[in-house]
Structure 1
C-alpha cells in the first residue's frame, strides 16, 4: 500500500487526492475514525486542515490550530511524533479543540517534513483511548513521508509555473503572463462598458548605463525600478517586464483616457526619482505609450501594437506620454491584414525553406546547409525574410514561425541523412526568439520530433544583437546550449563586438560578413580579413566566409586560412528537392 501511494505521490496525482488516499489507508489499516493533514499556512503560527478522511461535515481548509501550541509545536520543532492516549485526560494540552470537539480521544501526531523544514502535521485519531505501537508509528511516518513527497512535487510545480510566468531578474510578470492578464481584462470589458488601457514604458538611453557602468549595475537599477513601478499602481493593475528596459502595465476597469494619463504620469514620476547604486544617484527618463481598447479593437495583439506605436511616438517627441492616434496610423488596416495573412500562412504551410550549402575551402566538400525562410504568398509570390520577419516580431508570431522553421529544417536534415548525406543545418534565430522563456522547450521539442542529434543543429545569431545586450544573449545561449545545439555569430565585423563578447559567448562558429568578402581585392581589406581569421582561429572558433561571389575570392580566403565558405559562386540557395538532386549529382560525379 505504501509503495502504491508513493507512486501516486510522484506521478502527478493531485496533492489533496494523495492526502485523502493516505488518510483512508491509515483509518483502514489502524482501525481509526479519522486521519488528516494540518498544513502550515501563509499566516505565521497557523495550521489548516488540508485534506483527510473522517473529518466531515466541516469543509477542508476551515479548521485551524495554532502551530505554537502544545503537541503541534513539539512535533514541528523536534520532528518527533507525539502520542496522546486520551485527550479527555490531557487538559493542559492547548490547541487540540478541533479534535476534542469531534470526541476524538486517542491521537497520534507525526511531522510532515520537507528538506527546507516542516510542512505540517499528520493527525491520526480514534474515538476511544488508544496508544500507538512502535510499528504503527513507523507506518504513520511512512505515510507522512509519502505526503511530504507529494507536497515537494506540488511546490516544485508551483515554482516552475511561477518561473515560466515571471521575469527572472525582477520577479514581475513576463510577456506570457501579461498577455493572459490582458486577455482577461479585455474579456471582462467585452461583457460590460469598462475600458482597458495598456501602457508601454521604455527607458530612454538605458543602454548608456549598461555600457558605462556594466550590466550588473543595470540589473540592480532595473530591479529597484521594477519594485517602485509595481508599488505605484492598483492591486488590480499588472506591471510586467517585457525584456531589456521595456515594461508594460495593464489597467483594467478604466474610467476614461484621463485616468490612463494619470497612471502614465505617476509611472514617469517614479522613473524620475533617482535610483541610488553604490552610493551614487542615477537619473532615468522614460517614454510611455498608451493604447485604450475601443469597442471595436479589443484584441490583445491589436492593443500591444497600438501601445508600441504610441510609445515610439513619445520617444520621437523627446519622451513623456503619447496616446495611440488611429488618425496617425495610416498603415493600421494594411498591417492588420498582412499580419493576419502571415498567421494564416504559417498555419497553412506557406513558409518555404531554401537551403544554401556551406563548403570546406580546402577540400570543396559540403560541410552543412543553411536554412533560409521565404513566404510563398498566394498573391505576391515568394517574399524574402525582410518583407515579413519584422512584422512577425511585432505581431507576436515569432514563436510559431521559429517552431515551423526549426521542425522543417531538422526534418530535411534527417531526410538527407537517410540519403547518405550527414550534414549539419543552420537556422537563423532572432534575439527576441532567443530570449523568449519558451525557447529551450521549442528547440527541445523540434529536436525530439525529428530524432536528430542536437549537435547537428546550428543556431545563427547576428553580431548586432550581441552588441546591443551581450549579457542577456549570453544567458539565453547558456540555457539553449544545455540542449547540445551549436551557435554561430552571424554577420561578424558589422556590429563592433569585442574580444570580451567572443570570450563570453564562446560560439562554435563565426561568420564573417559578406561586406568584407566583397572587398578582398583591396590589400588593406585583405589584410584585415586575414587578421580576423587568425584571431578567431586562435580562439578555437571555426571561421566561415559569407558572400563568396568569385573564384578569386574563394582562392584568397583559402590562402588566408578561412575554413568554410558559402556564396553564389559556390552554390545558390535551393529548394529541398533541388538540393537533394544537386547533392546526388555531386556524389555521382565524384565516383567518375
Structure 2
C-alpha cells in the first residue's frame, strides 16, 4: 500500500533517486483503488512535473541533471506528510498518493510540494531555479480507474502550466475542451482532404477619402457537417499549433484567388488580403506552393496583400522577415495586423519589409476617449513618416469612421463599413454584374 513504508528488498526503485519507480506505483496503487471503490474511501493523487530538467542536462551535463532529479526526490520525501512516499515515475515526474485526506489538506500539501521544488538548487556554484508544476486529481470523483486517475492528475499539471499558476486541481471542463480540440483537429484534417467544408468570408476595406471598396480581407470559416459554422476562434488557434495550418492556409489562398480572378473579370479592381500564421515562416516550400496558386488562378502577386500580426513577426523575427521579404520581392504587399498590441520596438518596425499598418480595433473603438485619439493619431503619424499606408480596424460607428478620416487614416474595416460576407453576399454588396453563363 502507498502509505505503508515499503520494504527495500521488494520495491522496484529508480537508480538515481532511490525512490520507488513507475512499476512500484502501479503495483502499489492498483489494489488501493480497488479497495477505495469497495469501501467508499477517497484517494488523492499529486503529480509533480519538473519542466526544466533537460535544461540542466544541456547546460551542465548528465551528472548534474541526475543530481537535480535526486535533490527533487529528497525534497519531496522531506515535504510529504508522514507515511506518504513519493514515486519517481518519469524523468522529471513524481507522484504521491494521499488516503482519506480532506480536500483543503490535500491542497495545502500540493502548495507545499510546489514551494519545495521551486527553491533554487546550487549547481557548480551557481543557483538553479526549477520550474515546477503540481496537478491534483481525486478518486473516485475525477476517475473510475487507476489509469483515468493518473491521466487526470497529469492533465491538472498541464492546466497549471497553461494558467501559469504552478498548481491546479483537475477540471473536467478543461478536459472536455481539450478532448474537443483533439476531435476538431481530426475533423479538420478530414475536412481539408475532402475540400468542401473550408470556406472563405470576405470583409470589405473602404478608402476613407472616396468611400470606394479597395479590397477585402479573406477570413477562414469552417462549415462543419455536424456542428455547423464553427467560429474561427474555435479552431484556428490550435490549427496554428499543428501541421494543419499549412494546408488550411493553402485552401484559403486557392479559394480567395479564384474568387478574386472572377471578380476582376467583372470589373472589381481591388485586392485581397490573406493572413499568414508565424508557424509557416519556417516552411522552406511555402513561397513556391503559394506562388503555384497564383499561377493557377492567373493572379498577379501585386493584387494580394499578406497580413501577419506584429506579435507573429516578433515570435520568429529572422524567419519572418525573410519570408515577408520574399513575398514582397514577388510583388505582394505586406500588412502588420493588430498594430499596437505587440512588443516590437519602433526602431525594429522601421526595418521590417512591410507596406501597411492595421491599427488594432481596441484603439479605434476607444476614439471617444483622449487616449484612443492619441494612439490612433500617433500610429497614423508614425506610418506616414515610414511611408506606410494605414487601415483602421474594427470600425463600428459613423463617429469612429469620421474620426479616423479626420486623423488621416487611409482605409477603414469593420462592421460599420461591411461585415464579413460569403461570396454571393459580397458580390451583391459590391454591386457586381452577374457572372457570365
The Cα shift of 1:456 comes to 1.4
Partner of 1:486: 333
Select the residue among 313, 317, 340 that pairs with 2:186: 340
* CA distance, structure 1, for counterparts of residue 256 and residue 89 of structure 2: 46
The Cα shift of 1:383 comes to 1.6
Query: 1:158-177, aligned counterparts within 5 Å?
Result: none
CA RMSD of aligned residues (A): 4.3
Q: Bigger radius of gyration, 1 or 2? A: 1
Secondary structure in 2 matching 1:399: helix
Partner of 1:425: 272
The Cα shift of 1:426 comes to 0.4
Select the residue among 241, 252, 260 that pairs with 1:413: 260
In structure 1, the gaps of 5 or more residues are 1-200, 205-224, 233-257, 266-271, 276-280, 289-306, 320-325, 588-592
**1:476 equivalenced with 2:323 (yes/no):** yes
Question: TM-score, normalization: structure 2?
Answer: 0.61
* CA distance, structure 2, for counterparts of residue 496 and residue 435 of structure 1: 21
Query: 1:19-38, aligned counterparts within 5 Å?
Result: none
Select the residue among 556, 571, 578 that pairs with 2:403: 556
Residues 365 and 372 of structure 2 are in contact (CA less than 8 Å); yes or no, is this contact kept in structure 1?
A: no
Between 1 and 2, higher relative CO (CA 8 Å, sep ≥ 6) is seen in: 2
Structure 1 residues 576 and 312, CA gap change in structure 2 (3 angstroms): same
Residues 455 and 484 of structure 1 are in contact (CA less than 8 Å); yes or no, is this contact kept in structure 2?
A: yes
**1:504 equivalenced with 2:351 (yes/no):** yes
The Cα shift of 1:560 comes to 1.1
The Cα shift of 1:357 comes to 1.1
Partner of 1:581: 428
Structure 1 residues 352 and 318, CA gap change in structure 2 (3 angstroms): closer
* CA distance, structure 2, for counterparts of residue 264 and residue 472 of structure 1: 34
Query: 1:160-199, aligned counterparts within 5 Å?
Result: none
Query: 1:55-454, aligned counterparts within 5 Å?
Result: 261-262=90-91, 333-348=179-194, 349-454=196-301
**1:530 equivalenced with 2:374 (yes/no):** no
Partner of 2:98: none
Select the residue among 506, 509, 518 that pairs with 2:365: 518
Partner of 2:26: none
* CA distance, structure 2, for counterparts of residue 422 and residue 518 of structure 1: 29
Residues 373 and 384 of structure 1 are in contact (CA less than 8 Å); yes or no, is this contact kept in structure 2?
A: no
In structure 2, the gaps of 5 or more residues are 1-49, 63-86, 95-120, 134-153, 167-171
Residues 136-185 of structure 1: CA distance to partner in whole angstroms, max 9, x if unpaired?
Answer: xxxxxxxxxxxxxxxxxxxxxxxxxxxxxxxxxxxxxxxxxxxxxxxxxx
* CA distance, structure 1, for counterparts of residue 306 and residue 159 of structure 2: 31
The Cα shift of 1:529 comes to 1.5
Size of the aligned set, in residue pairs, is 317
Partner of 1:241: none
* CA distance, structure 1, for counterparts of residue 308 and residue 421 of structure 2: 22
